[in-house]
Structure 1
Amino acid sequence: MNGRHDIEIRPLTSGDEVTAGFRVFLRAMVGLPLREVDAMEVTERGRYLGALDGSEVVGGADSYRSWLAVPGSARLAHAAVTHVGVLPTHRRRGILSRLIARQLEDIAARGEVVASLRASEAVIYERFGYGVATSARSARVDLRRAELRPEVPPGGRVRLLDEAVTTEALAGIYDRASWTGAIGRPAGWWRLQEIGRAADAVRHYVVVHSTDGVDDGYAVYHPLDTGGWFTSRQKTVSVTDFVALTGSARAGLWRHLLSLDLVDVIAIESLALDDPLPLAVVDRRSVELGPERDETWLRLVDVETALRERARGDEEPVVLRVSDALLEANNGTFEVSRKTVARTDAAPHLTVDVATLAAVYLGGTRWRHLAAAGRAAVHDPDAVRRADILFGTTTSPFSGTVF
């Protein structure tokens, strides 16, 4: 058996190599369908790293060029990390560690400030500097009990969209997203959605909302368990993508979904933790919320730039010492105030590793909770209070994009 040093880590260059890398990912995930996909259509040239045992691709780590919306609505250059996997025949040989370390070096060299991923297992990525920065939950709405409150705005116009123009229209709406945690959806992501809808045995419905003639939201949904649809007492529609750029769009899309005929349950795959839907119905128990689950695993690739570009609250400065085992440039001490972020030689008020800083970066975790859990070393007790204000946000961060 070859040792770990016989495995070559390099970008996958040819179409055959990229296809092999994509198939490794599908096999490594076990439960994903092995669909016939042209991997060159859904990846970006030069970004797919492979682990090769001789000429065989046995592992891979890919990413998309994207953006991440941070507090204050700035968009940071972002790598959306995906298609990570190693064949079962080559596990426990350090291949994943080498792939991720090399990928982070490449992302940093591209000038991308942050990276994020969706983790198949919760114990893998923290050692690579990733922290849980956003969470989400599902919801089930019982349409036999759900009724919007009379105070809910009427919303605008909702229209069904033809499949032929779906991607262009939806991408044009989504690209204006500015909520904290939203990420840019690249062309490869949209192409995968098209492939998934085309391969599905049931029809997917797309509705677009417009306010005063401007498209400002949409929802994508499809029926579940259609074999017994007309005899079922739990006819369920699954909402796989819900995007509302305005309050009017949110209300209008709610009204559409809650008024569907021949439907008993609306199952929404992903909502922000503070989504207002339960407050919008007369019978709050008609909305059953699922458990909180981790969503965005965030990696700060350039700590100083990331700290500088997000908005900060009005409070006295806090001095943070940050450690990063993989990216040496991030190691240092930073004075963070409302107006500025700068490296400093001053004694730190708080000390954290880069994964812990990522967890608090978007406002989804509080410094006081990190301190209580022993994940932040506290050298100045009042610094915890100040840091909570500096890093505070008014809404829960949320992505809403799986990749």
Structure 2
Amino acid sequence: MGERVEPEIRILESEAELGEAAALFRTAMVALPSWWELPEGAASRFLEPGRTWGSFLDGMLVGTVDATSGRLTLPGGARIPHAAVTHVGVLPTHTRRGVVSGLVRRQLSDARDRGELVATLRASEATIYGRFGYGVASTSVSVEVDVRRAALRPDVPESGPVRLLTRPDRWEVLAEIHSRHLPSRPGTIDRSGYWWNSQRRRADSITEPMYVVVHGEPGQENGFACYRPLDTQRWFTGRTVAVDDFFAPSPEAHAGLLRFLLGLDLVEKLRFAALPEDDTLALLLRDPRAAEIRSVSDETWLRILDLERALAARTWRGSGSVGVEVTDSLFRDNSGTFEISPDGVRRCSAGTEADLSVDVADLGALLLGGVSWQRMAAAGRVRVHRPEAVDTADLLFSWPCVPFAGTSF
């Protein structure tokens, strides 16, 4: 065998190369619909300039990855610079050759140079990203509601008016609602204009009906839901509606939108694609078993890029302090021992003995408070040097609500 050739990795800038990257990603994913391919001359509407990377072998584009700049919410409400990583793809003829490794490492270094403290992604495969320092920091649940059994309790919060939006203006209204009412829940991310443009293109490409409903007075809307019927060929037997996007950041919006959806005529089941694990839906029903969790899925894969600044930005709870040793093989200056207490974080001097030792990927899973140190230690993902430190760390990292992004990209 000949000597292995290292690919050339660089930013893609021309419309032709960006279009080729979009087509490559569709090929890599095998089953994506045609709307994933960029219309000619439209790259600037869907891809942030300077954030799409390509890997070339013998002048041929064989892999790609891109990202969007934004903010992610930490426990305590701080919104930190964040890279939303997506479209990681390699031609099926060039897999297992280190193409993804080179692209992801280059992209993470670039994001760090931009001052972004974390990167997150949604993983198509669960075995790829841990080796690059990503850990699962939040999960989502899909819920199916039997509408025939789902009567609301009498103490459900009052809600405002609900109205359907028409096609011409709905995306602008939804973007405004989301940005104006961004929740303080850890893991929340903003939705860029590129994200909304993709949603519009996707919606315009499908022929099946899709509906959008908003909660609140015109100009003061504070929540929305996007829903569509399933299997319309069999609509009069087993009628089911999928709720693809349920944005209800307040109890009033949640109750109002749920009340509307439960009141849809001819519908027997509602399928909510993604809700946080602590969503109140079942608690609002007289019969909580009418809402059944159908699946639990990993949502946010988080990679800490600047450990000291990321730790300093979040709020800590409980009491006491704990010394956490972190190992990061990619960004060596992230490695070290950090003392964490309700008063903040400080880097310890070299040689300081730690209470707990963890890899940066597992600390990424713990950062938002959705995973317990006790559980990670029981799985062997944390090396425990002082047993009582595990409880202290759990109190420090805990948060009243579980992390959840609610945005797929």
TM-score normalised over the length of structure 1: 0.96
Structure 1 regions of 5+ residues with no counterpart? none
After TM superposition, the structure 1 stretch with the greater mean CA deviation from structure 2, 117-126 or 220-229, is 220-229
Picking from 126, 133, 140, the partner of 1:136 is 140
Aligned 8 A contact 1:155 1:249 in 2: yes
Could you tell me which residue of structure 2 aligns to residue 177 of structure 1? 182
Q: Report whether the alignment pairs 1:52 with 2:56.
A: yes
Q: How far apart are 1:214 and its partner, in Å?
A: 2.4
Could you tell me which residue of structure 2 aligns to residue 64 of structure 1? 68
Determine the C-alpha separation between the residues in 2 that align with 1:316 and 1:297: 29
Determine the C-alpha separation between the residues in 2 that align with 1:173 and 1:4: 51
- Which amino acid in 2 is paired with 1:245? P
Could you tell me which residue of structure 2 aligns to residue 271 of structure 1? 275
After TM superposition, the structure 1 stretch with the greater mean CA deviation from structure 2, 353-362 or 153-162, is 153-162
Deviations 1:315-370 (A, max 9, x none): 11111111111112211111111122111123111110100001111111000111
Aligned residues: 401
Determine the C-alpha separation between the residues in 1 that align with 2:45 and 2:233: 33
Aligned 8 A contact 1:211 1:248 in 2: no
Root-mean-square deviation (CA), in Å?
Answer: 1.5
Q: How far apart are 1:31 and its partner, in Å?
A: 1.8
Q: Report whether the alignment pairs 1:334 with 2:338.
A: yes
Q: Report whether the alignment pairs 1:17 with 2:17.
A: yes
How is 1:1-400 mapped onto 2 (pairs within 5 angstroms)?
Answer: 4-35=4-35, 36-38=37-39, 39-175=43-179, 176-178=181-183, 179-210=185-216, 214-229=220-235, 232-345=236-349, 346-400=352-406
Determine the C-alpha separation between the residues in 2 that align with 1:388 and 1:3: 49
Determine the C-alpha separation between the residues in 2 that align with 1:265 and 1:340: 47
Q: How far apart are 1:89 and its partner, in Å?
A: 0.5
- Which amino acid in 2 is paired with 1:82? T
Q: How far apart are 1:55 and its partner, in Å?
A: 2.9
Aligned 8 A contact 1:4 1:94 in 2: no
SS of residue paired to 2:295: coil
Aligned 8 A contact 2:316 2:344 in 1: no
Determine the C-alpha separation between the residues in 2 that align with 1:17 and 1:115: 24
Deviations 1:365-399 (A, max 9, x none): 00011111111111111111110010001111111
Aligned 8 A contact 1:19 1:40 in 2: no
- Which amino acid in 1 is paired with 2:32? L
Distance 1:65 1:3, change over 3 A: farther
Distance 1:213 1:370, change over 3 A: same
Determine the C-alpha separation between the residues in 2 that align with 1:67 and 1:107: 13
After TM superposition, the structure 1 stretch with the greater mean CA deviation from structure 2, 271-280 or 33-42, is 33-42
Determine the C-alpha separation between the residues in 2 that align with 1:77 and 1:41: 22
Distance 1:79 1:164, change over 3 A: same
Aligned 8 A contact 1:315 1:389 in 2: yes
Determine the C-alpha separation between the residues in 2 that align with 1:95 and 1:4: 12
Q: How far apart are 1:163 and its partner, in Å?
A: 1.6
Q: How far apart are 1:54 and its partner, in Å?
A: 2.9
Structure 2 regions of 5+ residues with no counterpart? none
After TM superposition, the structure 1 stretch with the greater mean CA deviation from structure 2, 50-59 or 239-248, is 50-59
Deviations 1:253-282 (A, max 9, x none): 010000001211111100111111111111
Determine the C-alpha separation between the residues in 2 that align with 1:127 and 1:210: 45
Determine the C-alpha separation between the residues in 2 that align with 1:7 and 1:130: 23
SS of residue paired to 1:10: strand
The ranges of structure 1 where at least 4 consecutive aligned residues each deviate by more than 3 angstroms after the TM superposition are 1-4
Q: How far apart are 1:93 and its partner, in Å?
A: 0.6
Deviations 1:213-271 (A, max 9, x none): 72111101111111232xx3211111111111211000000100000012111111001
TM-score normalised over the length of structure 2: 0.95
Deviations 1:143-195 (A, max 9, x none): 11111111101211111112211121111111131221111111111111101
Aligned 8 A contact 2:143 2:295 in 1: no
Determine the C-alpha separation between the residues in 1 that align with 2:292 and 2:48: 39
Q: How far apart are 1:212 and its partner, in Å?
A: 9.9
- Which amino acid in 2 is paired with 1:63? A
